[in-house]
Amino acid sequence: MDEIVFLDVATIGTVENLKELNKLGKIDFFEETLPDQVIERAVGKDILITNKVEITAGIIDHLPDLRLICVAATGINNIDIAYAEKKGIQVKNVVNYSSDSVAQLTFTMLLHLVNKPGYYDNFVKSGAYAKSNSFTHHGEPFWELRGKRMGIIGLGTIGRQVARIAESFGMEVVFYSTTGRNNNINYKRFELDDLLKNSDVISIHAPMNDRTRGLITYDKMKLMRPCAILLNLGRGGIVVEKHLAKALNDNLIGGAGIDVLVNEPIEADNPLLKLYDKSKLIITPHMAWASKEARELLVQKIGQNIEIYQKGRP
């Protein structure tokens, strides 16, 4: 029976089917694991599961029994993959488990910024509506998505799901390929500057790499329409955070929605927390991926990765 350890199970929260992993071996669960606790908790284990805990070459050298690293996410930048492979250790991640969840929050943010339900809800609950002489109120104008253009940066699995939903609202979808290789025939492909200049909504769903790091700067935001909405549900660092704060304060763009940051949790002095008009920005704590269904599917796919390894083992 394989010895298994899950180093940071708190990162996926309470998931009903987590107990199913017990069928695959003797497993130890830890809510979180600090860097100096990894070796102690993983030594003697055949299989290691981690979401964000780093597994470096130095750690791998102290784990002679380790044969499989399962990453409870898509990104695997916290693993020294080259060294793991050199040591004969397989590294398996999980893909296509959160597309619907991320797409749903994308439009939650967009509709929040466009329709301003918080303002209108407060207008009623504050008592102002009860004192009004009119059956309606027009304090914060909003616009319809129909007929507007959605510019998507990163037309992968999530980007395509966002595109389909945008079309259901009657939006025109265009995209920018961060690799330069995506030629999706269903949508027009724009260069970045043209996308920024000509879109009402910019929605980022790209990975972090050398082509996307610092992609959206203050100068790029200058190209955007004054009423445009910028959404980043890709990776922190694609949008330069201090530049976004300045752009919002300078009224360069209409608003922004952010689920990912360079440093997570957010640092107390992040300029995005000190905007003149906080209603122009909605920030969530990297949870767009984490619907109940997505987390259950994540656990299911971790289990499948372990089963594939076990069946293929000599």
Is 264 designated active site? yes
pLDDT digit string (tens) for 233-259?
Answer: 999 999 999 999 999 999 999 999 999
| 272 pLDDT more than 80 | yes
Token output for 112: 């929040």
In this structure, the number of other CB atoms found within 10 A of the CB of residue 19 comes to 11
Please give the single-letter amino acid code of residue 121: D
pLDDT at 183 (0 to 100): 84
Is 85 designated active site? no
| 24 pLDDT more than 90 | yes
User: Strand ranges (DSSP E) for the chain?
Assistant: 3-6, 26-29, 47-50, 68-71, 90-92, 149-153, 172-176, 188-189, 201-204, 229-232, 255-258, 281-283
DSSP element (H, E) containing 58: helix 57-60
Q: Which fold has domain 3-95+292-312?
A: Rossmann fold (3.40.50)
Average pLDDT (203-220) is 96
pLDDT at 313 (0 to 100): 79
Band of pLDDT at residue 26, cut at 50, 70 and 90 = very high
Average pLDDT (49-68) is 98
Burial class of residue 41, CB neighbours in 10 A (0-12, 13-18, 19+)? middle
pLDDT at 88 (0 to 100): 96
- CATH 3.40.50.720 residue window(s) in the chain: 3-95+292-312, 99-283
pLDDT at 182 (0 to 100): 85
Band of pLDDT at residue 51, cut at 50, 70 and 90 = very high
Is 41 designated active site? no
Specify the CATH number of the domain 99-283. 3.40.50.720
Q: Dihedral of the CA atoms 175, 176, 181, 186 (nearest 10)?
A: 10
In this structure, the number of other CB atoms found within 10 A of the CB of residue 220 comes to 20
CA 18 to chain centre: 22
Q: Looking at 31, 32, 85, 264, which residue is catalytic?
A: 264
pLDDT at 89 (0 to 100): 98
pLDDT digit string (tens) for 82-132?
Answer: 999 999 999 999 999 999 999 999 999 999 999 999 999 999 999 999 999
Closest-CA residue to 91 (of 108, 119, 64, 71): 71
Band of pLDDT at residue 143, cut at 50, 70 and 90 = very high
Distance in angstroms (rounded) separating the CA atoms of residues 33 and 7: 6
Q: Looking at 149, 205, 235, 243, which residue is catalytic?
A: 235
pLDDT at 184 (0 to 100): 85
Show Cβ contacts of residue 295 under 8 Å, excluding neighbours closer than 6 positions.
12, 13, 15
By percentage, how much of the chain surpasses pLDDT 90? 96
Band of pLDDT at residue 180, cut at 50, 70 and 90 = confident
| 314 pLDDT more than 80 | no
Average pLDDT (12-28) is 96
How high does pLDDT run on average in the chain?
97
